[in-house]
Amino acid sequence: MSRHRYVIRHGQSTFNAAFAETGTDPMHFDARLSELGHRQVAAGRALIAGLPRPDLIVCTPLTRAIQTTIGLFAGIDAPILIHSLHRERCEHSCDVGRRPADLAAEFPQFDFAHLDDPWWHDGPGHAPGVPFEPEDVFAARVAAFEAWLDERQEPVIMAVGHGEFFRRLTGREHFANCEIVRFRA
């Protein structure tokens, strides 16, 4: 049986836009999509239409990834699993998430009850309210997600997530916002 695995980076977030201008963390916790990010998602729908229909869509609990998933896959009949293992490496304000109950209130179509609280890395930080995920913890999480993905039996899985995580997972140097990359057969 042929297996297709795709990784999709979220659309531009308000954090991405502000950081690109200033080079400093704008303190946008759990950043949402920017206006450009919403346009990138709309354009990405055409790309999704040209790919095999997903049997499973897996999305991180960060708001920008959820918004991207909703925009890309609206009207596509496939289960969507919110999964925290492939969340972004916690090193900026945008990588700090929200409590499962808060996410469920905003996105009632998804199940967040299985998530830990907090589900993001929670430890010492380098800025107020921003924990920093150590390299060994991050590397172990990338390996765990790769193993999880390999164990899944669905023929076509599309994972919506984050640039640094996908860079580490695939070895590919850069992911543009809303870029779709086939990862493994």
pLDDT the model gives residue 138: 98
What the chain holds in terms of domains, given with CATH numbers, is 4-182 (3.40.50.1240)
Which of the 8 DSSP states describes residue 95? G
Bigger pLDDT: 99 vs 3: 99
pLDDT in tens, 101-158: 999 999 999 999 999 999 999 988 877 889 999 999 999 999 999 999 999 999 999 9
pTM flag (> 0.95): yes
Work out the mean pLDDT of the chain and round it to a whole number. Answer: 96
Mean pLDDT on 24-42: 97
Of the candidates 117, 119, 118, 42, the residue with the CA atom closest to the CA atom of residue 87:
119
pLDDT digits (tens, 9 = 90+) for 59-88: 999 999 999 999 999 999 999 999 999 999
Q: What share of the chain is helix, strand, coil (3-state, %, to 5)?
A: 40, 15, 45
Give pLDDT, residue 1.
Answer: 62
User: What are the tens digits of pLDDT across the range 40-55?
Assistant: 999 999 999 999 999 9
In residues, how long is the chain?
A: 185
